[in-house]
Structure 1
Amino acid sequence: MVHPRFVFFAFLALSVLLAVMNEDSILSSNKGDSLCCNDHPEFGICTNKSCNKWCLQGCTRGGFCKRKICHCYC
């Protein structure tokens, strides 16, 4: 027979594991949202074509060079 204390700790460990996995998936799904409506100086040398292509990875409208900085549309 399985000891009740073992079942409790196994359930607790599974709950923590599922919570961490859910948090990771939430964070990764929001990465694209941070691209939109923002300037991205980390992009580097900005050309409208390359900036637009990069922004399309997370924003449906793409992006453009704004004062030599890649800016993704909202």
Structure 2
Amino acid sequence: MSRQIFQLMVSLAGVRPRVWRRVLVPGGYTLDRLHRVIQHAMGWRDCHLHSFDVDGRQYGEPDPGGELVLRD
């Protein structure tokens, strides 16, 4: 049985020069596991606000000021 692997580009909104990372994750990952992958890839320690946008539905807690929001 083959497992799907997704290549994702993670970037910070409104930041110049552009800050981004490319990550590979298994297709079965939950948003919680993806959150942990992003924290590690960006060198964060769970202290940056971010949200996930899945088919127009927001998950997470974006920055109220709209700055440095990670959208995936």
RCO higher in 1 or 2 (8 Å CA, sep ≥ 6)? 2
TM-score above 0.5, yes or no:
no
- The structure in which a higher percent of residues are helix is 1
Q: TM-score, normalised by structure 1?
A: 0.28
Higher normalized strand content (fraction of residues): 2
User: Which structure has the larger Rg over C-alpha atoms?
Assistant: 1
